[in-house]
Amino acid sequence: MTTTVRNVVRVAPPPAGPSWRGRLRAPAVFVLVAVLALVVAPLLLEPFRLGLLAKYLCFGIVALGIGLAWGQGGMLTLGQGVFFGLGGYAMGMYLKLHDAGGDLPDFMVWSGVEKLPALWVPFENPVFAVAFAVIGPVVLAVLLGSLVFRQRVRGAYFAILTQALAAATVILLVGQQGLTGGTNGLTNFFDLFGQDLAADGTQRGLYIVVAAVLGVLYLVAWQLVRSRFGRLLIAIRDGEDRVRFLGYNPATVKTVTFAVSAGMAGLAGALFVPVVGIISPALLGVVPSLELVVAVAVGGRFSLAGAVLGAVVMGYAKTSFSEQFADGWLYLQGALFILVMTLAPKGIFGLAATARDFVVSRRPRTGRPLMSTGTADIGGPLIEAQEPRA
Amino acid sequence: MEAIVNQLPIGLSIAAVLLLIALGLTFTFGQMGVINMAHGEFIMAGAYTAYLLQGWAGRQAVLVALPVAFVVAGVMGLILERVAIRHFYGRPLDTLLLTWGVSLVLQQLARDLFGAPNVQVRAPEWLQGGVGILPYNRLFIFALAVGSVVAIWGYMNRTSQGRRMQAVMQNRQLAAVSGINTGRVDQRTFFIGSGLAGIAGVALTLIGPVGPALGTYYIVDAFLVVVAGGLGQLRGALIAAAALGLLNSYAEFWTNASLAKVIVFVVIIAFLQIRPQGLFVLKARALT
Amino acid sequence: MSGALLEVRDLSVVFDGFRAIDGIDLTVEQGELRFLIGPNGAGKTTLIDVITGLTRPAAGSVRFEGRDLVGRKEHEIVRMGVGRTFQTSVVFEQLSVVENLDLAASFRRPLWSLARRRRGVSDAVDAAMRTTGLDALADRPAGVLSHGQRQWLEIGMLIAQRPRLLLLDEPVAGMSGDERARTGELLTEIAKDHTVIVVEHDMDFLRRYASQVTVLHEGKVLVEGSVDEVRADPRVQEVYLGRADDKSRTGGGGEGRAGGDGDGPADGRSQAGDGEKSRGPAVGSAAGEVK
């Protein structure tokens, strides 16, 4: 084929592909973090702190899903708490029934329920409970996503709808005292698969399970982001209508991504319950859902690692600050959030990438454009995903 | 049958409050692409304004509070717009998160200033009682909403400021090159929209207690009104608020309170299958 | 049924009571390079929008390879083999040139297979990159491309999809002289083995690269024929010179439509919201060129 268009604009040759060192850096960091999390932390941390870390890592799993849906796909989901709650309640129901050993769970007795509700019966089976913790959220997300995305409801509208779902779910759970434990939720668990939940060994084991699940899911998300699917997701985030004219149906891609993030949140919820020992409406409403989004924004929504890091850091900050001065935490959280959105909308990771690019761009030999291309491998575009103005 | 009638004033007054709240949201969203989560705290500010004015105006506080709350909430909105939001125009998702941070701070501020427990505002004696099944306080709220809508409609269609506001809403660039100071129009819109939330806050003191979290109970529903009504649409907000208010109160009555919100949510999703952009849409041909 | 690739019959589009397209017939044969021209608001882009599913017609049919396109979704029409570009080129700035092209080329893969990473460059992508001369920029983010390069990338994305009908909406709008010439060469190259419809405003460009031309005016076909025929036609001159003579209003003679006097507005240019937006610099010179 003859080349008909010659490009006379001289541009510096593109940077050569990353060196083997560059290519190994990300996996090396991952392995390092994995060793720290799976080996060093359990050895160094006392059980109480390890339990807290396990809790933050559960939030990290939810954040991973938010990073995927929002950072990569542009779907700001303010209802992840609902999926987290579905997973949590599924697990909580199993634990309650297991502890009750054939009798009615304690709170039902207090509420005057006489017969085990049909809804609860299948949750006597642990396999069903765990499967439901993932499949339930996925089904709900597919249902909601396909209805909403098919109609091209997106951006802020989608955010509002997911928030409304979170609000409605909380009210529903609180109102069904006999079925859900109402405001108190499900708590007082004693035994997990024959292990005493209060025992240090069980908690340590749980921590390792949580950390391993997070690691595996991170790899899954990472693979997804680097694949063609991930490119497609970014394309949809930045120009959904244009993607249609490439022959793709954005609704399908978005629904799948939303479902994956919901499944992650559900699994996180199921892990959270034995770790923390409670699931209640207060843990999954509008505020906790938003808090996780905030955490992702603080960490850096365009990078999966940033999302997870944000969740862990914010979880830690919340615990330590509200231990000291409970009221101050809200000011601090609000102020931190205002600052991050105003000064560093790409979060901590975005700041780091900008700083690195700044250093790189000052080196004369590279012909890189001033406009940052972001952290390429994590799929880190630095321009915010925004709905274009109508 | 009797239940249908009895529930009507409750539904309508909820609808009226939702409308007052949603008007500000729909205009700031439609005109500036701003999702203001702190709007709920303007409601709260309006309600506390009435509470504070009791010391001076006694039982007539509600009446005195209406203009004062409008200005207080309006100025709060104006400050928020000037200090933070104007840097975020056209980035609704970012404004959503930013203003949520503001909302957290304002709630905590209210908790520190007025205490966490709810407070009561005593309604004027002339609002007690009612005609038949229609309590005066709910009638008053309803009248307040009707008055506000008429005023807004008049402002938008009968004043040059209002027409400028419509111009900016429909095509910002064109309005700007036509010599309209869009920044000033934005400020006015924000002031009026936030002020209306303040009035809604005063209205809410007539039907319930006042607390730091007052706004959070209504903000989600008000956003649903915006979604269902269509962006920047007075007519849309009117119809959607009425529908949502009534649906809410009847769903609560016939099923139970805990199912009502789920029903409302399902109805909204179903509605969006027919009208994905809400009841009324500003037509524009553009591709992202 | 004739063997035409694209058949538009008696098409009407109404925007809030305004008839942007008012009974257009258009037939494009396999292998043709057809130019659509006309003054602002003639309905050129609207016609493209209807063919590609972006706008719904009030009446009429659009048949591609004998199958009706009206009512189908945008991505379904693309999957049938109709691709288009936009006036304001839309490429994915966060993705590199090669990723943009690869995304375009992968649209027939099943969704699950997209979960694998791209390894290397497929033939279709490679060919598209050479044809458009973007191979040197393969790994650059599309965000750093110049306006002209973006248009070429968009055209490249289109040919990487191997469509059977290409619709180019003002490919040279806003381009420099050099870029226009190169785009013209690119167009000639593509037209060798594709059926192409080009919406264009630039008379100079038209004179150089067009063969068959359809002139639209106020939502109707005014004239259809070769470049020379069209340029010689007094009605076309009138339209482009803007003489508001009413006798020029009757529908296109070539199509033999029964003199339907349009009920469109007196001035086709009055449709601010619905009309074409970004205009290239060629607008002003258009009238002079025809003469």
Nearest CA in chain C to A241: C74
Q: Is residue C21 part of a domain?
A: yes
Strand duo A191-192 + A195-196: pairing:
antiparallel
Q: How far is CA A201 from CA A47, A52, C291, in A?
A: 9, 15, 91
C-beta atoms surrounding A111 within 10 Å: 16
Range of the domain at C10: 1-31+38-65+209-254+268-291
Q: Range with the lowest mean pLDDT among A8-17, B200-209, B256-265, C181-190?
A: A8-17
The closest of A351, A333, A262 to A75, measured between CA atoms, is A262
- pLDDT score at A312: 92
User: CB of B39 within 8 A of CB of B194?
Assistant: yes
Q: Is residue C12 part of a domain?
A: yes
Residue entry with tokens 């190259």 = C189
Beta bridge partners of C62: C8
Residue entry with tokens 């939720």 = A185
- pLDDT score at A37: 82
Percent of chain C exceeding pLDDT 90 equals 28
Q: Range with the lowest mean pLDDT among C47-51, C179-183, C267-271?
A: C267-271
Beta bridge partners of C214: C36, C224
Report d(CA B251, CA B263) in Å as an integer.
7
Average pLDDT on C66-91 reads: 89
Residue entry with tokens 């697990």 = A91
- Specify whether the backbone of A259 is left (phi greater than 0), alpha (psi in -120 to 50) or beta: alpha
Report d(CA A124, CA A97) in Å as an integer.
6
Contact list in C for residue A9 (CB cut-off 8 A) is 146, 149
Residue A7, chain C, CB below 8 Å: the answer is yes
Q: State the number of CA atoms in the 13 A half-sphere of A346 facing the CB.
A: 19
Q: Is residue C144 part of a domain?
A: no
User: CB of A226 within 8 A of CB of A34?
Assistant: no
Report d(CA C44, CA B154) in Å as an integer.
40
The closest of C84, C93, C67, C53 to C5, measured between CA atoms, is C67
Nearest CA in chain A to C156: A5
The closest of A27, A44, A70 to A162, measured between CA atoms, is A70
Number of Cβ pairs closer than 8 Å across A and B? 145
- Specify whether the backbone of C8 is left (phi greater than 0), alpha (psi in -120 to 50) or beta: beta
Please give the single-letter amino acid code of residue A259.
A
Q: Is residue C83 part of a domain?
A: no
| Domains by residue range for chain B, with CATH | 2-274 (1.10.3470)
Average pLDDT on A284-301 reads: 90
Beta bridge partners of C9: C61
Burial B30-55 (b: 16+ CB within 10 A, else e): bbbbbbbbbbbbbbbbbbbbbbbbbe
Q: For residue B185, give how far its alpha carbon lies from the nearest alpha carbon of chain C (Å).
A: 22
Q: Is residue C96 part of a domain?
A: no
Q: Is residue C275 part of a domain?
A: yes
Per the CB < 8 Å rule, is B287 touching C16? no
The closest of B76, B42, B26, B38 to B202, measured between CA atoms, is B42
ipTM value for the complex: 0.90
pLDDT digits (tens, 9 = 90+) for A74-83: 999 999 999 9
- pLDDT score at A11: 42
Percent of chain A exceeding pLDDT 70 equals 86
Average pLDDT on C273-289 reads: 34
Q: Alpha carbon B126 to chain centroid distance? A: 26
Residue A136 has pLDDT above 50, yes or no: yes
Angle value at C-alpha B203, between B198 and B204, nearest 5 degrees: 95
- pLDDT score at A361: 64
The closest CB to that of A242, out of C90, C94, C152, belongs to C90
Residue A234, chain C, CB below 8 Å: the answer is yes
Residue C275 has pLDDT above 60, yes or no: no
- pLDDT score at C101: 93
- pLDDT score at B283: 53
Tokens of C76: 């379904």
- pLDDT score at A21: 66
Per the CB < 8 Å rule, is B220 touching A152? no
Report d(CA C8, CA C15) in Å as an integer.
19
Q: Which of A13-27, A158-172, C202-216, C261-275 has the highest mean pLDDT?
A: A158-172
Residue A272 has pLDDT above 60, yes or no: yes
- pLDDT score at A75: 93
Angle value at C-alpha A353, between A349 and A356, nearest 5 degrees: 140
Q: How far is CA C23 from CA A204, B134, B250, C57, C270, in A?
A: 75, 58, 50, 10, 19
- pLDDT score at C258: 35
Report d(CA A180, CA A113) in Å as an integer.
11
Q: How far is CA B144 from CA B16, B201, B202, B224, in A?
A: 8, 12, 10, 21
- pLDDT score at A379: 32
H helix or E strand, kind and range, residue A10:
none
Read off the pLDDT band of C284 (50, 70, 90).
very low
DSSP line for A156-225 = HHHHHHHHHHHHHHHHHHHH-HHHH-GGG-EE---EETTEETTSHHHHHHHHHHHHHHHHHHHHHHHHHH
Residue C92, chain B, CB below 8 Å: the answer is no
Taking the alpha carbons of A55, A58, A62, A65 in that order, is the dihedral positive or negative? positive
Identify which has the larger pLDDT, B86 or A231: A231
Average pLDDT on A207-221 reads: 94
Report d(CA C101, CA C159) in Å as an integer.
9
Residue C274, chain B, CB below 8 Å: the answer is yes
Q: What is the dihedral of CA A376, A379, A384, A389, to 10 degrees?
A: 120
Q: What total number of domains does chain C contain?
A: 1
Report d(CA C91, CA A243) in Å as an integer.
10
Rg (CA), chain A: 23
Average pLDDT on A364-373 reads: 39
Identify which has the larger pLDDT, A257 or A376: A257
In angstroms, the first-to-last Cα distance of chain C is 39
Residue B194 has pLDDT above 70, yes or no: yes
- pLDDT score at B286: 42
User: CB of B54 within 8 A of CB of B61?
Assistant: yes
Residue B265, chain A, CB below 8 Å: the answer is yes
Q: Which of residues 84-143 of B touch A (CB under 8 A)?
A: 84, 87-88, 90-94, 96-98, 100-105, 107-108, 111-112
* Interface residue of B178, B285, B288 to substitute, partner C, most C CBs within 10 Å: B285
pLDDT digits (tens, 9 = 90+) for A301-358: 889 999 999 999 989 888 888 777 767 777 888 888 888 888 877 888 888 877 777 7
* Interface residue of A78, A82, A147, A160 to substitute, partner B, most B CBs within 10 Å: A160
Per the CB < 8 Å rule, is B91 touching A176? no
Q: Which of A105-119, A137-151, C188-202 has the highest mean pLDDT?
A: A137-151
Q: Where are the alpha helices (DSSP H) in chain C?
A: 44-51, 74-80, 97-105, 123-132, 147-160, 177-193, 203-209, 227-232, 234-241, 283-290
Report d(CA A377, CA C157) in Å as an integer.
23
Average pLDDT on A251-266 reads: 96
Residue B28, chain A, CB below 8 Å: the answer is no
Identify which has the larger pLDDT, A201 or A225: A225
- pLDDT score at C244: 45
- pLDDT score at B222: 93
Residue entry with tokens 């973007």 = C134
DSSP state letter for C265: -
Report d(CA B266, CA A119) in Å as an integer.
21
- pLDDT score at C116: 84
pLDDT digits (tens, 9 = 90+) for A162-211: 999 999 999 999 988 888 888 888 988 887 887 777 778 888 889 999 99
Helices then strands, each counted (H, E), chain B: 11, 2
Report d(CA B62, CA B64) in Å as an integer.
6
Residue entry with tokens 């607390």 = B211
Residue B188 has pLDDT above 50, yes or no: yes
The closest CB to that of C182, out of A5, A228, A235, belongs to A5
- pLDDT score at B90: 72
C-beta atoms surrounding C33 within 10 Å: 20
Strand duo C82-84 + C67-68: pairing:
unpaired
pLDDT digits (tens, 9 = 90+) for B30-65: 888 888 999 999 999 999 999 999 888 877 888 899
Report d(CA A344, CA A354) in Å as an integer.
10
Residue C280 has pLDDT above 80, yes or no: no
Per the CB < 8 Å rule, is C133 touching A5? yes
Strand, helix or coil at C18? strand
Q: Is residue C15 part of a domain?
A: yes
Residue B256, chain C, CB below 8 Å: the answer is no
- A169 phi and psi angles, rounded to 5 deg: -60, -45
Q: Is residue C160 part of a domain?
A: no
- Report the mean per-residue pLDDT for chain A: 83
- pLDDT score at A104: 86
Tokens of A298: 């603080």
